[in-house]
Every structure is written in C-alpha cells, then in structure tokens.
Structure 1
Amino acid sequence: MGTPVLVLFTQDLRLHDHPALTAALEESETVVPLFVLEPGLLRRAARNRRAYLTEALADLRSGLRDLGGDLVLRRGDTATEVRALARETGARAVHLGGGVSRFAARREAALRATDLEVRVHPGPTIVPPGAITPAKGDHYKVFTPYWRAWEAEERRKIRTAPARVRPSEGVDPGPLPDLDAEPGGIGALSPERTRGGPTRARERLRRWIDRGLADYPDRHDDLPGAATSHLSADLRFGCLSPLEVEAAARDLPGGPEYVRQLAWRDFHHQVTAAFPEIATRDYRPRDREWRHDPEALEAWKEGRTGVPIVDAGIRQLLAEGFMHNRTRMITAAFLTRTLRVHWREGAAHFDAHLTDGDVADEYGNWQWVAGTGNDTRPNRAFNPLRQARRFDPEGEYVRRHLPELAGLPGRRAHTPWEEAEGEGTAGYPRPIADPGR
C-alpha cells in the first residue's frame, strides 16, 4: 500500500477539485486527511464562522467516510499535531493548499521546520498569488491591469472528486467539535446565518447557476432583490472551489460579469500575499485624521445612526452574518468618510459577525472604501442617500431590515426625519451626522 501521506485541510473543506488531496492519492494508496483546530484562532473567530466550520467538518467527514476514509481531527498547534500524526502513521510527507494570511505563512514555515516533506498546492484562489505580476513589482496594485492579466492566464485542470480514500489503520479520528457549545468566539450567532458544508454549498451553486446568474448583470446591485450568489462563505471556507465556480459560470448568460467579481477576490488575495499587514496597517498611508468617537461607533455597530440605508445594512449583518456588497460599501463609507472613524474599528465589527470574514477580502475592501487601499480615487464621494435612492428606490430593503420604518411608503423610508412624527417613525433616531456629506 506504500507509505502513508498526510493531507492537511485548511481553507479547502471539500472533496471536489482538491489539488492537495488529488496529489496525495497519486502518491500513495494510503492517505490520512487531517484538520487541526487551533485554539488561538477559535478564540478570536466570529461565532458565525465557528458554527459554519462545525457543520463543514461534519459534512466533510461524512463525505470521506462514504469513500472509505475518514477525517482526523486534532486540537493544538498545527505543526505539532501534523508531526505527531506523521510519527503515528509513518508518513513522511504532508500536502496542503497555500494561503496568503500571516497565520498561513507562519503555519507553512513551522511545517517546513519539521522533518517532513511539505508540498503546497493551489489554495483558495483561481489564479495563485504571484502567478502573474506586473513588469515592475511583486504584485498588481490596480485592479484593471490585473484583470487583463488574470483573464489571459491559463487555468489549471479541475480535479475530480476521488472515488475511494484508503485510511491508515488504527488512527483515532477524534470527535467532531461542537463549537456552538464551547466557550470563546466573538460576536453573536446570527439567527438567519448561512449553514455550512460542501453539500449545501454545491446545492447553493446549482441554484445560483440555474436561477440567478442570468440576471446578475442587471440586478447585482438590487438591494431588495438580494440578487447575488450568496456563495461568499462557501468560498471562504473552501467548501466550493473558486475554479469550479468560474468554470460553471463563465460561458453562461451573466457569467462574464460574475466572473469579474471572482477576479476581484483573487486581486485582494495577491495584494494580501504581498502585504500581509493589510488587517492592521494602511496599504497606502494617507495621513488622514481619524476621530475617536465611541458613541458614534456604538450607534453604527447597533444600526441606529438615524440613516436608514446604513442601519439596514448593519441590521442585516447582525441578523444574517452576511451583508450585500453594496451596503458593505455604504456602511463602511459612512463610518470612515462621514464619521471619520478609523477603518480598523469598522473592520473589527464586520469580522466579529461575518460568516464569510476573510482577511484578504474583508480588509482589502475596507481599505478600498476608506481610501487607504487599492482604490485609484481615494477621495471618491459616497453619498448614502443617493446610493439608497438608486439601489433601493422604493425603500423595500430598508423596511425589510428596519421594521420601525415599515409604515413609511416608498422613498420616504430613506429620510424619516423629514416626516411628521407618527406611524412608522416611532423610536427611530435622527441622523447622528449629515448623511449628505
């Protein structure tokens, strides 16, 4: 049967198109899939992400058992647990997907410090970071030239799911975690959060391709229509392969416009690979003067700024662990450009609640909006009222997430302070800052 080989699952919790798993199965008949629960990461992870991870691991284990294998679960430092399992099984090599965060870099360095052969495969992007670079520099700083190079880059072959996985005999797989019941985590569990796992993810993808993709070019900013794929958490945990998603969508009506958004995701990952401090430092320092305003920040976090489109976005975040990308931009711009509160404060709140919270996408987008990131127009105007009237013209999105404004018809829901006191405005505050700024 040959020497066993380890496969370390990270942000690739699936069996379809899994380069590391495929390579391990080509190398040995005996493959030991492993996931390590890092206590430090779990303590500071959003409860929504902990819940998604719990479900994804259960689904992945079930899929591997259907193939004759199993998912080994361990807790502790990743390199330590990998080395211990290698000694237990006699494995001399470990395969894993690459990552771009500081944690992923430290993990890979620690693994390379062991006596194991470490083989890193394509990770959570379509085009790996570093595969395309500009003539000068190690990464693209502007999206449009990146997009042209990204489009032209040859794609790797999509890997089929294995037909069989032979496990190493005598290995205790370990219990599935119940992270909902364990202490730790940040934020609150959203009642309408996305449930995790590759089975649900593939069903969401099929539903999106069949029912939503064709309308994407015209409706992707339609706030009340919620006409986006809602696959962000599935891509963040690797329950879907982004390459498979691209291949499924590209040649269909609406596909090119949707694929461009996948390219934006890759763009932020290649930026983060080159600038891993993206969660803590300005990518492009602008010497902005930020305000320390705890009361305004708290009002923003709770969705009670008095600006309905901003508050509706935050309320969606709290209820679903998800927010439409358009309102992500609107809420971030209001905090950083109108209230002048530092982008790190807002990003931390998003990170505490988003199921899809990913270092590259989350912080890359926050810095883009704040004017410290990759936006070529750092002083771009972002008027929340104009945004609301354009993308929620009848106030449906606002009324859906702000029931206290349910009695206000049409666009009047966007400016309740202009209405007489009465039905639909009870208890809703006046704006804490001029929303027209």
Structure 2
Amino acid sequence: MADRAAEGAVAAVFREERGRLLAALVRRFGDLDLAEEVTSEAIEAALLHWPVDGVPPRPGAWLMTTARRRAVDRLRRDQALTTRLAILRVEAERATPPEDHGGDLPDERLQLFFTCAHPALPAEDRGALMLRFLAGLTTPEVARAFLVPRETMAKRITRAKKKIHGARIPFRTPDADELPERLPGVLQVLYSIFTEGYTASTGPDLQRVDVAEEAIRLTRILRRLLPAEREVAGLLALMLLTHARRTTRTGRDGELLLLDEQDRTHWDRPMIEEGSALAETALTGGPPGPYGVQAAIAALHDEAPDLPATDWPQIVALYDVLQALTPSPVVAVNRAAAIAMRDGPERGLALLDELAGEPLLRAYHPYHVACADLLHRLGRHAEAATAYRTALDLAGTEPERAHLRRRLAEVDTSAMP
C-alpha cells in the first residue's frame, strides 16, 4: 500500500511538475536533451527512494535538486558536451541552495511554450513538442494523439530537438514588443491540439476527449503565466464552451448528434459559466481578438434553450467581426450557415455558392455538408445527394461517415418518384 501511495505521488508530481522541472533545467543548462534525460533520472530516483524515505514536503524541489546534480555529474564526465568553464559554473550552482520562489520550482514554462511553438520549427512538430515536454506525454502517447506510428513520432521529436539546437532557437520569453507577433503561434498550436480532440481527423471515434483535455490543461497553464493577455483568456473560453457539450455530441452507439439533436440539460453548466466569464474578460478592455469573438459565438450557442431560440442575428454580427479580423473561407462558410438560420436557406446557399471556387474548400468536408443540408431543406434532393456523396468521400471519422450515409439515404428516398 505504501509503495502504491509513493508511486501515485510520483505520478502526480510528474504530471503537474514535469514541465516546470524540464523548463527550469533547460534554462539552467541550455540543453533540451540533457534536461530531459536528467528529469527522467530524477523521477526514477524518486520511485526508488520515496517508498522508503517518504514523500518529501516539497517534492518538486527534491526532483530539481536531484536532476541538477545528475546534470552536473553528466557534464563532468562528458568533456565534449561543455567547456570547463561551464562545468565550474554549474558546480558553483550545485553548492548554492535553491532559491525560495514560494513554491517547489520557479515557473519557467513560458519560455518552453515559445520554444516549442517557434516559427522556425515545422508546423507539424510544434504540437508534438508541446505534448511531449509541457504536457509530459510519452512519445507513444504523443503518437496516438496525432494518429501516427510511434517510430514516426520519435523521429519527428528527434528532428525538432536537433532543429532547436542547430538553429540556436533561443529558450526565452519574447520581449514585450515581440509578444503580439509570437503569441498567436503558441495559441494556434494549442487550438490545433484541441481541435484534434474535439473532432478527430480520422478513426472510429468522433472525439478524443483526452487530447482535448490536455489542450485545455496546457491553455490553463498559459493563462496563469500570461494573465493579462486577453486572447489567452479567449482561447481558454472557446475550448471550455465547446468542450462543455462533449457528452452529448454522440449517442449510445457513438453516432454523431448535431446541435439540434443534443440534450442541452446534460451540457456541463459549471464549464459554461467559467467559459462565459472568460469570454467576457477576453472582450473587455480593448479591440476584440479572434479567439474572444469565437468564444462569444460559442457562449451564445451554449446559452440558448434550443436551436431556433439561438440569437442568430448576434451570431451573424460576430461572424462579421471575425471575418474582418481573420478573413478566411472557413469563417465565410460558418457565417453563411448562420445567415441561413437567420434569413433562410436560400440566402445561405447563395453565399456558399459564391465560395465554390475556393481551393481550400474543395477538400473541406463541412463546406459540402453545409451545401447539402441547405439543398435538402430547399427540396433540391438530387443536388443534395451529390453534395452528401462528396462530403462522405472527405469525412475523416466513422461517426461522421455514418451520419452522412443516413442523410444520403434520406435524400435518395425523397428523390424517388
């Protein structure tokens, strides 16, 4: 029982403190590989000693001291890794008691966020690095999150670490004048992770709740580190307001349930309240940002008692703002769908037809679903069937495909004489 308690304590510390420990070690020694290795060694030492000696009152500080000493020993043995001057510096640090920061470790994860999301890194590597180093997922867990083989993910992470070292990507928080340019990249990586969890790109399940919750947990950390940044609050609000519907988005057999089919009494009301308060924060005190606007749209959906009673005029107005902030074909599709709810399917379909030539939308299955649904509502069943078939070919998950097959069967039956 004591062994299990100690292992549980180590697991909890590893989960909550690994990112802080890793960030502090990278900051101190300037080497991500070294920091990762000695972090793992410190965890192994804790598993060995804590069951015998008990869990220390400040487990994070214990791990930091242990990892730092392992790093010093590694540097002393490997002359190729550092110069004698660096060894003397870290040995002096070893002799100095850790500073009291009011907690177990100084929280230097902000630097790690910006390192993992550095624009010099390939886009596909940034989310993997965040999950590996900030969330503390193992390489196989990160591979599952991105639906790639473990070997592929291991090579991707190794490549990214080499890029950080070879390109001399700095481990630092951007200066105040750089932050507006760099922060959107960090937020985009977090949102991409959440999106993969909210609607998986491929596979048998619509959602991957564990991935979505990791994105939320990381965004909460970023919110604590940057409390004055309203777009961080906006992104967290958007995630919470969307994730609040997670238990109602599929039925008992895993089938997809649309917004008008979901039991709103089972939405997560505390999460909605928290998200709504954060959305208000995001929209207060200056010009709105795209995540704050999207959070406000999500809040209007969550606050409505049903689909017809949703404040569609306000949602359209918010999409107008979003389109001005971040013009894109995807925003235009969502705006057209909202206008269809406000003004009728003919008006919405006309707007979607204007987007038909957008290259990005050819492989974007929600566009074809939106066209098919409006054509169905207008009684143009043969055209709706064509659009549903296109969407079916592009859909990534089995629940989405099953839903589209049902819709296709409905319009095919309706089209029969």
Calculate the TM-score normalised by the size of structure 2: 0.30
**Higher strand content, 1 or 2:** 1
Highest relative contact order (Cα 8 Å, sep 6+), 1 or 2? Answer: 1
More helix, by proportion: 2
Decide which structure has the larger Cα Rg and report it: 2
Compute the TM-score of the two structures, normalised by the length of structure 1: 0.29
